[in-house]
Amino acid sequence: MNFRTDLALERKEYIRKGELDGIKEEKKEVHGVYVTTITVENEKGEKLLSKPKGKYITVEIGSFMKNADLFSDKLTALSEELSSLIPKEGTVLVVGLGNEKITPDALGPKCISLILATRHISEEFAKAIGFERLRSVAAIVPGVLGTTGIETAESIEGIAERIKPSCVIVIDALAARSTERLGTTVQITDTGVSPGSGVGNKRNRIDKNSIGVPVIAIGVPTVVDAATMAADALQNAGMSEEETERLLRSYEENELMMVTPKEIDNVIDRAAALVAMSINSALQPDIPAEDILAIVS
Amino acid sequence: MNFRTDLALERKEYIRKGELDGIKEEKKEVHGVYVTTITVENEKGEKLLSKPKGKYITVEIGSFMKNADLFSDKLTALSEELSSLIPKEGTVLVVGLGNEKITPDALGPKCISLILATRHISEEFAKAIGFERLRSVAAIVPGVLGTTGIETAESIEGIAERIKPSCVIVIDALAARSTERLGTTVQITDTGVSPGSGVGNKRNRIDKNSIGVPVIAIGVPTVVDAATMAADALQNAGMSEEETERLLRSYEENELMMVTPKEIDNVIDRAAALVAMSINSALQPDIPAEDILAIVS
Amino acid sequence: MNFRTDLALERKEYIRKGELDGIKEEKKEVHGVYVTTITVENEKGEKLLSKPKGKYITVEIGSFMKNADLFSDKLTALSEELSSLIPKEGTVLVVGLGNEKITPDALGPKCISLILATRHISEEFAKAIGFERLRSVAAIVPGVLGTTGIETAESIEGIAERIKPSCVIVIDALAARSTERLGTTVQITDTGVSPGSGVGNKRNRIDKNSIGVPVIAIGVPTVVDAATMAADALQNAGMSEEETERLLRSYEENELMMVTPKEIDNVIDRAAALVAMSINSALQPDIPAEDILAIVS
Amino acid sequence: MNFRTDLALERKEYIRKGELDGIKEEKKEVHGVYVTTITVENEKGEKLLSKPKGKYITVEIGSFMKNADLFSDKLTALSEELSSLIPKEGTVLVVGLGNEKITPDALGPKCISLILATRHISEEFAKAIGFERLRSVAAIVPGVLGTTGIETAESIEGIAERIKPSCVIVIDALAARSTERLGTTVQITDTGVSPGSGVGNKRNRIDKNSIGVPVIAIGVPTVVDAATMAADALQNAGMSEEETERLLRSYEENELMMVTPKEIDNVIDRAAALVAMSINSALQPDIPAEDILAIVS
């Protein structure tokens, strides 16, 4: 398993049959949308999948490029899966990871610009403008280590200590193995995240251990590593795993390269809108999604 | 004194002669640049100037619009004034206040994109790339309350507790009384700042009291309140202070209006570059400004 | 009449009663929206209003800031007024004037990004994707003289000669006298436009004379001249016209200043969406506005 | 030769030895920069290289990412090669092709924002501000067919007919075969261009035939086709040309994918600055490049 991917679903495909000890998989169709939940149950599963213990929910939403319709069953399906993981009470801190100046890495920051922040709105004012129940939400873009000098985990910890959220939701761009996944799949997990896995390098993990409250990560694959793509081409051509690995070493310069859809700017815009609105809907179930969109956009 | 201004220099102009008890003023010319230092010495001065005790250094840099030359005596003068206020040791946290989506309020965020963050660079690596002494610097854009749900003061406090800076530098757009000040003046103070005074509303003060370490604020006026401008026109036309105040009440709708240079986008870009580079130079005196610019841009 | 305004409606307010020879005014309420049509009938009217002969339709749409709902009676009213001026057959060339890098001047370029261009779509393909009748539309942003070296009129003439439109629609930001008009009024005229009147200087007129086909201009006021605003304050304070004029000369430096809403970025975004969608609806009456928006955004 | 590339240099590598009839190649080192000139001399050469008759000058400038220094021998080398192709008299029309909303395709529009347009500046004014000789330059961004409804060739023809340039320079992003070429090579040719070859589809050719004056194209490779990259991996692994072609058919979905550097936003910014400044220097040899940069940025 030398292919880089942040999707539990893709990692599982490379485990040999009969070896699924510690890993559970459930598939369902909700509102016409395919949802796969992979649960890593124990250390055995962690080793097999190279992913920490917890749930990995994959929602297949098809091509964003061909469907601009935001208020669809995709939104409902995503929102429901998210709701199942979010505590019912307390402030939720939503965090957009990634670098807004690198298009395929800008998913997180773009999402945050569409999240309805409400923590500063008093109950009286909320009622006065017609919102009976408004969940307390804060939304931040911590920036990347290279430009802030601060690990994302440090920023989130510092702010979480101040505002005491009951849960943190982090949004990040992911890397996939297959180009078919780009912009067409959403992964939701209760295991947190290692910032920068989408485009840059691994950083301090952001999860319940480091932050002290549940950390839900929601991501969309936006890039395939160039080396991974070349390896795929070789294996599809019948080359052995060993031979592929040997050849890949000659592709090291390609670590600076990524594969993205030609329409990546559109893919990011649409994925950001869908993810942000599914978070908004999960957090404010009493406000129609259309009304929230009118406020944030 | 009903005119809105964030500049101590402009406030002082409206104090009657002989009343300057508790306020000290010094003028000098450094590298051909005019520098005025107003010191509020005690509570009497605080009341007279409606500004907290401390130093207010005004550097008159002339029109940014007519001079694109960044590496000039203006930069040197600004950098020297800043240096006199910054502790010699420890990490410096640079914070860009304001809303990057409202052009005249975007000075802070634009500056941060040009600040050289170094806190994550190890001493070994710094030496390996030829930097003998690299001051530890972190740089953040906390965002505005309306979109984050978090007071700027809370964000800074949370992050400051984590990274333990010896000093915080906040950058913000200011409001002036006179349109001639827009983009032509820099104010540096050791008294901290009330976020949002440039375009929005007053928030929790960010200063040594709230953060626990010295807070230096650096700002450039980018707007004049429309009501202030109208009042100025009336007083220049010989109208009495009382009459002006009465008439101004009819300009309340103008609180939604601001006066800016037509070239505001250019003014912001150039002011941001000058302020950011003067901070970089003050923090990394051993690295030539041109080299820093090549790294950050 | 020394106040600068691009709105025929505001100019008319300053003509003395009984002097309206050559100027006709009609008011109506359409879909709950106020529409005023001023017709300059002859040279006498041209002199009185300082505006060329033709129709000036003003649609009062209220504050964009408080109403994000795009698909409303405002859209219908605007679309109907536009339709009454556009020839029924032939290609329509839509042109966005102004400088996209100066926020209040960016209305035209922002609109163009939301115009459905169709001239390159073959009839067969249009039918294949379900559009029985697709009006041929081209959409361009010619840029400003200072950055292109080409008069906007020259660019439009050159392209119009190639693509032979039956009509040109130009979109531009306007200057108003009253801050209450900013972002709340749309002016539609069949007399063309002088580019750059919104923020910059007058250029070669773009109208039926210069282009050879009808030129419809649609504009939204986004700025008030700082000098105009000061003059208004003085006259409201009871100062005579002569005295005001004398004092205004001392405000010449303010020609570099403009008054805009503090929320100007939002005002521009919303005005651009409304104007673009009203043009799209007028040009493609058979396609629901929501479907067009899904394609262009 | 099934690999897609816009670089004559890369195409030539795939021609078998001894078959170079009609193609001439010269290599030189200028200011430490490698320059290769391939001349397609006749129809035989056109068929071999699948490129029209004319000169293809390749300047190898190394990685933009590692060298932010704009005013270097690279700039001098590029500027000199350009100068050799540009007529000495008359207005030059500089055109930025591509879609500014798709990062790797935005090279042309980004360049234009840094081109010094002078056609509107009178000789008297130029002298008054200290420029004895100012070459007449116009600079436009015609936009892409999908959003304008107008072929780029039509726009350029229409404007060229108005302003009668002595020469047109078009700037476009290119596709390469090798990822090593991305952002490190500039190709200059006197044969014009087929717009959209960088990321989109082929359009009407823009050259001396269609425009009536010499058309110089200058481009930087910013993408590799995903299918081309996969094919390269296969051939490097020893697969035969026929086998590779057969396998590539299964990669058709990858036509929607592209390979770019992870730092593509930086690559584009730096390439745009270098290309724009080399054009500015070639057109205004009497003005120091630093002075031009101070005006346009």
Q: Are D250 and A236 in contact (CB under 8 A)?
A: yes
pLDDT value at C167 more than 90 = yes
On whether any CB of chain D is under 8 Å from the CB of B265, the answer is no
Range list of β-strands (E), A77-140: 92-96, 137-140
Q: Are C184 and C62 in contact (CB under 8 A)?
A: yes
Rounded mean pLDDT, B132-158:
95
Specify the pLDDT at position D13: 86
Could you give the 3-state DSSP secondary structure of residue D5?
coil
Tell me how far apart the alpha carbons of residues B276 and B75 are, in angstroms, rounded to a whole number.
10
**Nearest by CB to A148, which of B139, B145, B155?**
B139
- Mutation target to probe the A interface, by most A beta carbons within 10 A, among D201, D234, D239, D260 is D260
pLDDT value at D200 more than 50 = no
CB–CB of B179 and C254 under 8 A?
yes
Tell me how far apart the alpha carbons of residues A54 and A49 are, in angstroms, rounded to a whole number.
11
Specify the pLDDT at position A244: 79
Backbone CA torsion sign across C45, C46, C51, C56 = positive
Phi, psi of D160 (to 5 degrees): -60, -40
Residues of chain A contacting residue D239, judged by C-beta atoms under 8 Å apart = 237
Specify the pLDDT at position B71: 74
Kindly report which listed range (A147-151, C270-274, D77-81, D245-249) carries the lowest average pLDDT score.
Answer: D245-249
pLDDT value at D95 more than 60 = yes
Rounded mean pLDDT, B246-261:
75
Q: Which domain holds residue D48?
A: 8-296
Q: Are D152 and D145 in contact (CB under 8 A)?
A: yes
H/E run at residue B185: strand B185-189
Specify the pLDDT at position A246: 74
At C19-67, the pLDDT tens digits run 778 999 999 998 889 999 999 999 999 999 989 999 999 999 887 655 4
CB–CB of C148 and D139 under 8 A?
yes
On whether any CB of chain D is under 8 Å from the CB of A233, the answer is yes
Report A:163-182 residues touching B (Cβ under 8 A).
163
Rounded mean pLDDT, C135-140:
98
Give D136→chain C minimum CA distance, Å: 9
Specify the pLDDT at position C236: 77
Rounded mean pLDDT, A272-287:
95
On whether any CB of chain A is under 8 Å from the CB of D191, the answer is no
pLDDT value at B67 more than 70 = no
CB–CB of B120 and A154 under 8 A?
no
- Please name the residue of chain C whose CA is at the shortest distance from the CA of residue D92: C149
Specify the pLDDT at position D159: 98
Is B74 a domain residue? Answer: yes
CB–CB of C103 and B264 under 8 A?
yes
Residues of chain A contacting residue D229, judged by C-beta atoms under 8 Å apart = 226, 229-230, 259
> Chains meeting A at 3+ CB pairs closer than 8 A?
B, C, D
Specify the pLDDT at position B282: 98
Taking alpha carbons only, the member of B119, B115, B105 closest to residue B82 is B115
Is B2 a domain residue? Answer: no
Specify the pLDDT at position A97: 96
Residues of chain B contacting residue A147, judged by C-beta atoms under 8 Å apart = 112-113, 117, 139
Q: Are D145 and C158 in contact (CB under 8 A)?
A: no
Give D240→chain A minimum CA distance, Å: 12
**Nearest by CB to C229, which of B226, B256, B265?**
B226
Tell me how far apart the alpha carbons of residues C250 and C237 are, in angstroms, rounded to a whole number.
18
Taking alpha carbons only, the member of B276, B282, B280, B283 closest to residue B292 is B280
Taking alpha carbons only, the member of A47, A44, A57 closest to residue A7 is A57
Taking alpha carbons only, the member of B172, B174, B181 closest to residue B261 is B181
- Mutation target to probe the B interface, by most B beta carbons within 10 A, among C246, C262, C265 is C262
Taking alpha carbons only, the member of B93, B172, B105 closest to residue B137 is B93
Q: Give the confidence band of C203 by pLDDT, cuts at 50, 70, 90.
A: low
Give A152→chain B minimum CA distance, Å: 11
Specify the pLDDT at position A69: 67
Range list of β-strands (E), A194-245: 215-225
Tell me how far apart the alpha carbons of residues A72 and D90 are, in angstroms, rounded to a whole number.
58
How many residue pairs from chains A and C have C-beta atoms closer than 8 A? 8
> Chains meeting B at 3+ CB pairs closer than 8 A?
A, C, D
At A174-197, the pLDDT tens digits run 999 999 899 999 999 999 998 755
Residues of chain C contacting residue B231, judged by C-beta atoms under 8 Å apart = 233
**Nearest by CB to D230, which of A229, A243, A250?**
A229
Specify the pLDDT at position A204: 77
Please give the residue that has the higher pLDDT: either B46 or A228.
Answer: B46
Q: Are B286 and B133 in contact (CB under 8 A)?
A: yes
Residues of chain B contacting residue C102, judged by C-beta atoms under 8 Å apart = 262-265
Judge residue B205's burial from the number of C-beta atoms within 10 Å of its C-beta, 0-12 exposed, 13-18 middle, 19 or more buried: middle
On whether any CB of chain D is under 8 Å from the CB of A73, the answer is no
Could you give the 3-state DSSP secondary structure of residue C290?
helix
CB–CB of C138 and D146 under 8 A?
no
The CATH number linked to D123 is: 3.40.50.1450
Report which residue type is found at B103.
T
Is C174 a domain residue? Answer: yes
CB–CB of D297 and B69 under 8 A?
no
Tell me how far apart the alpha carbons of residues D166 and D90 are, in angstroms, rounded to a whole number.
5
Q: Give the confidence band of C151 by pLDDT, cuts at 50, 70, 90.
A: very high
Rounded mean pLDDT, A35-60:
94
Report which residue type is found at A112.
I
- Tell me whether strands A33-40 and B54-60 are parallel, antiparallel or unpaired: unpaired
H/E run at residue A70: none
> Chains meeting D at 3+ CB pairs closer than 8 A?
A, B, C
At D7-61, the pLDDT tens digits run 999 999 878 777 778 999 999 998 889 999 999 999 999 999 989 999 999 999 8
Rounded mean pLDDT, D178-186:
92
CB–CB of D264 and A180 under 8 A?
no
On whether any CB of chain A is under 8 Å from the CB of D241, the answer is no
- Mutation target to probe the D interface, by most D beta carbons within 10 A, among C114, C141, C150 is C150
Range list of β-strands (E), chain C: 23-30, 33-40, 54-60, 92-96, 137-140, 167-176, 185-189, 215-225, 257-261
On whether any CB of chain B is under 8 Å from the CB of A284, the answer is no
pLDDT value at B48 more than 50 = yes
Tell me how far apart the alpha carbons of residues D53 and D45 are, in angstroms, rounded to a whole number.
7
Is D24 a domain residue? Answer: yes
Q: Give the confidence band of C1 by pLDDT, cuts at 50, 70, 90.
A: very low
Tell me how far apart the alpha carbons of residues B179 and B229 are, in angstroms, rounded to a whole number.
8
Q: Are D35 and D48 in contact (CB under 8 A)?
A: no
On whether any CB of chain B is under 8 Å from the CB of A147, the answer is yes
Within a 10 A sphere around the Cβ of B164, how many other Cβ atoms? 11
On whether any CB of chain B is under 8 Å from the CB of D129, the answer is no
Kindly report which listed range (A9-23, B128-142, B271-285) carries the lowest average pLDDT score.
Answer: A9-23
**Nearest by CB to D294, which of B69, B295, B297?**
B69
CB–CB of C253 and B180 under 8 A?
yes
Counted domains in chain B: 1
Specify the pLDDT at position D294: 79
Please give the residue that has the higher pLDDT: either B171 or B247.
Answer: B171
Tell me how far apart the alpha carbons of residues D182 and A253 are, in angstroms, rounded to a whole number.
12
Residues of chain C contacting residue B230, judged by C-beta atoms under 8 Å apart = 229-230, 232-233
**Nearest by CB to C157, which of D119, D146, D162?**
D162
Alpha helices in chain D (DSSP H): 8-12, 43-49, 73-83, 107-112, 123-128, 145-148, 152-163, 208-211, 226-236, 241-248, 264-283, 289-296
Rounded mean pLDDT, D161-177:
96
CB–CB of B260 and C256 under 8 A?
no
Rounded mean pLDDT, B171-176:
95
Rounded mean pLDDT, C82-91:
97
Residues of chain D contacting residue C150, judged by C-beta atoms under 8 Å apart = 117, 119-120, 138, 140, 159, 162-163
Give the orientation angle of helix A152-163 with respect to helix B152-163, to 10 degrees.
120
Specify the pLDDT at position C198: 43
- Please name the residue of chain C whose CA is at the shortest distance from the CA of residue A292: C68
* CA dihedral of A28, A34, A35, A36, whole degrees rounded to 10: 80
The percent of residues in chain C predicted with pLDDT above 70, rounded, is: 92
Specify the pLDDT at position B283: 98
Kindly report which listed range (A3-17, B251-265, D282-296) carries the lowest average pLDDT score.
Answer: B251-265
Residues 6+ apart with CB under 8 A from B266: B64, B65
Is A79 a domain residue? Answer: yes
CB–CB of B295 and D68 under 8 A?
yes
> Chains meeting C at 3+ CB pairs closer than 8 A?
A, B, D
CB–CB of A179 and D257 under 8 A?
yes
Going by the DSSP 8-state scheme, the letter that residue B206 receives in this structure is B
Tell me how far apart the alpha carbons of residues C51 and C38 are, in angstroms, rounded to a whole number.
11
On whether any CB of chain D is under 8 Å from the CB of C98, the answer is no
At A223-266, the pLDDT tens digits run 998 888 888 778 877 888 787 777 777 666 666 889 999 888 88
**Nearest by CB to A158, which of B147, B151, B161?**
B161
Residues of chain A contacting residue C295, judged by C-beta atoms under 8 Å apart = 68
**Nearest by CB to A179, which of D226, D231, D250?**
D226
Specify the pLDDT at position A35: 96
Q: Give the confidence band of C69 by pLDDT, cuts at 50, 70, 90.
A: low
- CA-derived radius of gyration, chain A: 19
Give the orientation angle of helix A264-283 with respect to helix A73-83, to 10 degrees.
50
- Tell me whether strands A137-140 and A92-96 are parallel, antiparallel or unpaired: parallel
ipTM: 0.91
- Please name the residue of chain C whose CA is at the shortest distance from the CA of residue D101: C113
Give C265→chain B minimum CA distance, Å: 6
CB–CB of A179 and D253 under 8 A?
yes
Residues of chain C contacting residue A295, judged by C-beta atoms under 8 Å apart = 68
Specify the pLDDT at position C290: 85
